[in-house]
A and B are shown apart, each in its own frame.
Chain A
Amino acid sequence: GAVVSQHPSWVICKSGTSVKIECRSLDFQATTMFWYRQFPKQSLMLMATSNEGSKATYEQGVEKDKFLINHASLTLSTLTVTSAHPEDSSFYICSMVGTGNEKLFFGSGTQLSVL
């Protein structure tokens, strides 16, 4: 099956710093990408949807200036958590779907801990 590479797997940062998470499709071109976050013992919450070459569409309640999403190419999307605070500590997961593909493929996730 298709492979989605996400890194880093985990990151610890100080409050106020910014963290970038990368998500790459290794063997297909991803026209649509989704970013989710997940708190302990909860389900995945959709943060935003992005299509290559256009601005991301954010879900209600998700601050677009805090969570910067760049869908740079058909194989790469990045999520930058700006000025991170302890409440941003969470498990962040990317997912991708390619043209003509009915399946959504997920990265392995990034555990962010903000001290």
Chain B
Amino acid sequence: DAKTTQPTSMDCAEGRAANLPCNHSTISGNEYVYWYRQIHSQGPQYIIHGLKNNETNEMASLIITEDRKSSTLILPHATLRDTAVYYCIAGNFNKFYFGSGTKLNVKP
């Protein structure tokens, strides 16, 4: 699995868009970019994933750069319940390693 680099923490105002960056410069051609989040003492929750194209679902949007070396997770209208640790993972199902993640603090 490719190593990922994320900021340790970020703040976001409630109702505003949260943009969480991730670097995965060593990603290989068959590795996807996944985003999960974890709220304290719970199992990680799937958010979104993609290979090359940008993706959008009911939770978030995923923007992947053309060279695939970085990506951004966008929560369009952050709420207090979106406060969590967000993990970016570059990999496939031979192995699935978590990096250190970004603690997103959504503030009123």
Shortest beta-carbon distance, B90 to chain A, in Å? 13
Asked if A95 contacts B96 (CB within 8 A), the reply is yes
State the main secondary structure of chain A at its contact with B.
Answer: strand
Asked if A109 contacts B41 (CB within 8 A), the reply is yes
State the main secondary structure of chain B at its contact with A.
Answer: loop
Near B by CB (< 8 A), chain A positions 26-54 give 32, 34, 36, 43-46, 49
Asked if A102 contacts B43 (CB within 8 A), the reply is no
Asked if B97 contacts A97 (CB within 8 A), the reply is no
Residue in contact with A1 in the complex, picked from B41, B43, B46, B49, CB distance below 8 Å: B46
Question: Contact flags (1/0) for B88-108 with A, using CB distance below 8 Å?
Answer: 000001111111110000000
Residue of B nearest to A107 (CB): B43
Residues of B within 8 A of A102 (CB): 32, 49
Tell me the complex Cα distance, A105–B46, Å.
7
Tell me the complex Cα distance, A32–B93, Å.
8
Question: Can you name 10 extra interface pairs (CB under 8 A) apart from A1-B46, A34-B96?
Answer: A4-B43, A44-B98, A46-B98, A49-B95, A93-B43, A103-B46, A104-B36, A104-B46, A104-B93, A106-B44
